[in-house]
Amino acid sequence: MPSYSGITGLLAGCHALSGDRARADNVLATLTVDRAPRTKGLAIFHAICSEFDQAAGYFEQTIEERHPTVSELGVLPFFDRFRASPHGRALLRKMRLTDV
């Protein structure tokens, strides 16, 4: 079964930012249906919601899992605020993306 956790996290983040936290929670629940949390989706959700401590933890796990698209963290505009945070800068250094 394909995983679209990044899109799911983005959708949940949009619901949360619009004030519909219940719907966001319902969307997030789909990330753990198979008992293995989809760390990338959770990282994106927390980054969008400016919950940088949680986002950093999930991004760390995503890096450890060697998720093929984790480098998006270094370039996508909706991660700008996360990249500017101390957690984001530390992750970029870890990924050797400090020149991005």
Going by C-alpha positions, the residue among 78, 51, 52, 73 that lies closest to residue 62 is 73
The answer to whether 59 and 73 have CB atoms below 8 angstroms apart is yes
Predicted confidence pLDDT, tens digits, the chain (100 residues): 345 788 899 999 999 999 999 999 999 988 877 655 688 899 999 999 999 999 999 988 888 888 777 778 778 888 888 889 998 889 888 888 765 5
Domain coordinates in residue numbering, the chain: 5-94
